[in-house]
């Protein structure tokens, strides 16, 4: 009779092999000779791009997912939950590094809000709030307002909504030179990587431009974990 531990080991091996097969098919498709543009590539100095300040997950990971993203970008929002779910599923083995690559109107301001929320340990919460507001008047109102007082009130309300009690400190943080420097560091890293589309995702050294979908993302991470 096969023990439950042996069955678990067999199941783990089967899942790992399946993940590797899926990734192999994906990479074969992406790198096929007839394909005009490649969505995947390998980055030698990937660790330098994974050195961003906004980081969640393991402190000693086997796999680092680095995402260059615009906090207001709908396509970027589509990969947010799959990537945070993957990070939660592998708390000891996966870290998620978020690097701001603002492209949309008001995106630099939203990025500064994200950096300040991270300093309050509320980055996940504020990103979720951006996702919830994107299709309502919230984010669109911020993008259209010219009144700086009205915009400040919006950020203060958003901060309170995610559990940041000191809105004055939050608004002061958004204007702090260190926050601007951190944002510029992310932008410079994106320029060095030649980010041309958001999201741009690094899974250790594997670069994927755009959103490959949650199934492929999960398979890529599983394959990377199996190699470590």
For 56, the token pair is: 């969640």
Q: Could you tell me which of 46, 196, 72 has the C-alpha nearest to residue 126?
A: 72
Q: What is the pLDDT of residues 94-113, one digit of tens each?
A: 999 999 999 887 789 999 99
Which CATH number applies to 39-211? 3.40.30.10
Angle, CA 154 vertex, CA 152 and CA 158 arms, to 5°:
120
> pLDDT tens, 181-191?
999 999 999 99
Q: List, in order, residues 6 or more apart from 186 with CB less than 8 Å away.
A: 52, 68, 99, 100, 101, 111
Q: Considering the chain, what is the average pLDDT of its residues?
A: 83
Q: Which pLDDT score, from 0 to 100, does residue 34 have? A: 38
Q: What are 74-86's pLDDT values in tens digits?
A: 888 899 999 999 9
Q: What does the pLDDT read at residue 73?
A: 85
- Tokens found for residue 163: 């559990």
Using CA atoms, how far apart are residues 92 and 94, in angstroms rounded to an integer?
A: 6
The residues spanned by each domain of the chain are 39-211
16's CB contacts (< 8 A; 6+ apart) are: 222, 226
């Amino acid at each position: 009779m096969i023990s439950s531990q042996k069955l678990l080991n067999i199941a783990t091996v089967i899942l790992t092999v399946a993940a590797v097969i899926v990734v192999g098919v994906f990479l074969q498709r992406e790198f096929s000779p007839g394909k005009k543009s490649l969505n995947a590539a390998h980055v030698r100095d990937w660790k330098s791009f994974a050195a961003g300040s906004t980081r969640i997950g393991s402190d000693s990971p086997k796999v680092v997912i680095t995402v260059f993203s615009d906090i207001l970008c709908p396509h970027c929002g589509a990969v947010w939950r799959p990537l945070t779910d993957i990070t939660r599923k592998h708390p000891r083995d996966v870290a998620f590094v978020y690097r701001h690559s603002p492209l949309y109107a008001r995106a630099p301001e939203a990025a500064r809000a994200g950096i300040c929320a991270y300093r309050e340990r509320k980055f996940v919460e504020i990103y979720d709030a951006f996702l919830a507001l994107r299709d309502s008047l919230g984010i669109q109102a911020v993008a259209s307002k010219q009144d700086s007082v009205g915009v400040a009130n919006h950020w203060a309300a958003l901060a309170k909504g995610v559990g940041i009690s000191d809105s004055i400190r939050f608004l002061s943080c958004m204007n702090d030179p260190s926050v601007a420097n951190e944002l510029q560091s992310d932008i410079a890293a994106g320029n060095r990587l030649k980010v041309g589309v958001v999201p741009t995702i690094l899974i250790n050294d594997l670069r994927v431009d755009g959103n490959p979908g949650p199934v492929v993302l999960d398979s890529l991470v599983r394959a990377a974990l199996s190699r470590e």
